[in-house]
Amino acid sequence: MDSQVIANDPEETQSAHEHSPHLVHHYATMDQQVESASFGMWIFLLTEIMFFGGMFMAYLLYRNWYYDAFVAGSNLLSIQFGTAMTTILIVSSFTVAMGVFCSETRNRKGLVAALSLTLVLGISFLCMKGTEWHGIYVEHHVPGPNFSIETFVHPTDARDVPMSPDAAQHTQIFFFLYFALTGIHALHMVIGCSVLIFLLIRARQGAYTDGNPTMIHNFGLYWHFVDIVWIFLFPLLYLISRHPLK
């Protein structure tokens, strides 16, 4: 709350002090507390953008340097798989939004249902991610000593001509960035799902539907953010470069 407003109307802030059972002692009003929590969450998301930003920078640079290698790497990822994962995440964003709605309208059953659905969707996303990683592992495309360059074909050649070993080595950088970006995204999903389990247990006991939806609201912000990161990852890793310039 703007301090000027509080200054102009000190009585109101004083009277609100007694009411809400959710008010922590160092806040004057419930409004102030809720706004602080959500403001803090937004700033946290800002730091997350900077956190991913370093890797996006690296992606941008190497994509410009090793265009062919990035095309070859990108072609090995399954577009159907990626689309399915994207759909799952978008639906989970919807269920989280429904959870926030239910929490605000004090609908306990609705909240539990929405959060459970979100958890199921989140875990299925992680399972699909794991499957995809396993596939890459089997084909020896995990960067490191076991990396194999045999299966890469030159993107601008219609026939299946192997890439030059030099250029094919650079796909390692593509796959490293792929694992770094999707890995840290998946880590965020794991953290999200863990928090979700905690919220579910509390929500079943009646928390968050008693007039204090802040926690669910902030979790929703986090979940949407993780989704949005994926919305950037999906085109960068799966979609663009699939049809190389001739």
Partner 1 sequence: MSSTSIINLPNQQTARMPKNHYLNSGYGLKSWALTLDHKRIAILYLLTTLFFFCIGGLMAALMRLELLTPAGDLVASDTYNKLFSIHGIIMVFFFLVPIAPAVLGNFLIPIMIGAKDVAFPKLNLLSYYIFLIGGFFELYSIIWGGVDTGWTFTTPLSTHYVNTNVISAAMGIFIAGFSSILTGLNFVVTIHRLRAPGMTWFRLPLFIWSYYATAIIFILATPVIAITMVLIAMERVFGIGVFDPALGGDPILFQHLFWFYSHPAVYVMILPGMGVMSEVVGCFSRKRVFGYTAVAFSSVAIAVFSFFVWAHHMFIMGISNYSALVFSLFSMLVAIPSAIKVFNWSATMYKGSITFETPMLYAFSFIGLFTIGGLTGVMLASLGMDIHMTETYFVVAHFHYVMVGGMVSAVMCGLHFWWPKITGRMYPEQLGKLAASTLFIGFNLTFFPQFILGYLGMPRRYHAYPAEFQVLNVMSTAGASILAIGYLLPAMYFLWSLKYGAIAGSNPWQATGLEWQIQSPPLKDNFEEIPVVDFEAYDYEWLANKTRHEVTNVG
Q: Binding residues for partner 1, per CB under 8 A?
A: 1, 3-4, 6-7, 10, 13, 25-28, 32, 35-36, 39-40, 43-44, 46-48, 50-55, 57-58, 61-62, 65-66, 143-145, 169-170, 172-173, 176-177, 180, 184
CB nearer to partner 1: pick between 51 and 137: 51
Q: Name the minimum Å distance from CB 73 to partner 1.
A: 13
Report the C-alpha gap between 66 and 177 in whole angstroms. 13
Q: Which stretches of the chain are assigned E, i.e. beta strand?
A: none
Q: Name the minimum Å distance from CB 184 to partner 1.
A: 8
Q: Name the minimum Å distance from CB 159 to partner 1.
A: 25
Q: Is the separation of the CB atoms in 111 and 208 below 8 Å? A: yes
Report the C-alpha gap between 122 and 211 in whole angstroms. 27
Largest CA distance in the chain: 80
Report the C-alpha gap between 239 and 170 in whole angstroms. 19
CB nearer to partner 1: pick between 48 and 128: 48
CA 111 to chain centre: 21
Q: Name the minimum Å distance from CB 169 to partner 1.
A: 6
CB nearer to partner 1: pick between 21 and 145: 145
CB nearer to partner 1: pick between 43 and 79: 43
Q: Name the minimum Å distance from CB 29 to partner 1.
A: 11
Place of tokens 């919220």: 199
Residue 119: which residues within 8 A CB-CB, separation 6 or more?
193, 196, 197, 200
CB nearer to partner 1: pick between 43 and 190: 43
CA dihedral sign of residues 127, 196, 217, 94: positive
Q: Name the minimum Å distance from CB 237 to partner 1.
A: 16
CB nearer to partner 1: pick between 60 and 240: 60
